[in-house]
Amino acid sequence: MTQASTLKFSQFLIKLGSGASPEVFAAPCGLNSRGFSRTAATNDTNVPDCDDPEAASWLERDVVSLSGQMSGSGVVADEDFDVWNTWFESATSRTVQVTLGTRTWQGKAILSKLDITGQRGQRVTFTATLDSDGEISLQA
């Protein structure tokens, strides 16, 4: 049996672009969980069986759009929280990268949700949701 090669948490990063030229990417401190999902929106067409119109038909699907979403949650790291807050309040997209081992996806995203939560006896935490603003593509 050959054991699978796995990745450590530190090899899965969400990095935010600086907006400078050339763009510099950094992973803000504080995220204890990260997520990256991609979705294909589809249109369905019900295609009947020509030989048996009473038979159940099959749906055929066409992809009409693609989107990506990145998410993260963790502790509010005071030294990096202003990066998240300033981005949210700017209501603009910025370039982001998702790194998974040796793979990197890159594209524009909007910080669509920023939640801050605090509970007595615990550290303040936050969650962030980043929605793609155009193509998120695997970099060569």
Give the whole-angstrom CA distance, residue 43 versus residue 52: 24
Are 117 and 124 spatial neighbours (Cβ–Cβ below 8 Å)?
Answer: yes
128: nearest Cα among 105, 96, 103? 96
Are 19 and 11 spatial neighbours (Cβ–Cβ below 8 Å)?
Answer: no
Within a domain: residue 56?
no
Domain count, the chain: 1
Q: Supply the range of the domain harboring residue 84.
A: 9-38+67-138
Within a domain: residue 90?
yes
Within a domain: residue 48?
no
Q: What is the pLDDT of residues 4-14, one digit of tens each?
A: 999 999 999 99
Q: What is the pLDDT of residues 98-139, one digit of tens each?
A: 999 999 999 999 999 999 999 999 999 999 999 999 999 999
DSSP codes, 7-40: --GGGEEEEEE-SSSS--EE--TTEEEEEEEEEE
Within a domain: residue 127?
yes
**Global model pTM greater than 0.85:** yes
Residue 29 is part of a domain; what is its CATH number? 2.40.30
Q: What is the pLDDT of residues 15-62, one digit of tens each?
A: 999 999 999 999 999 999 999 999 999 999 999 999 999 999 999 999
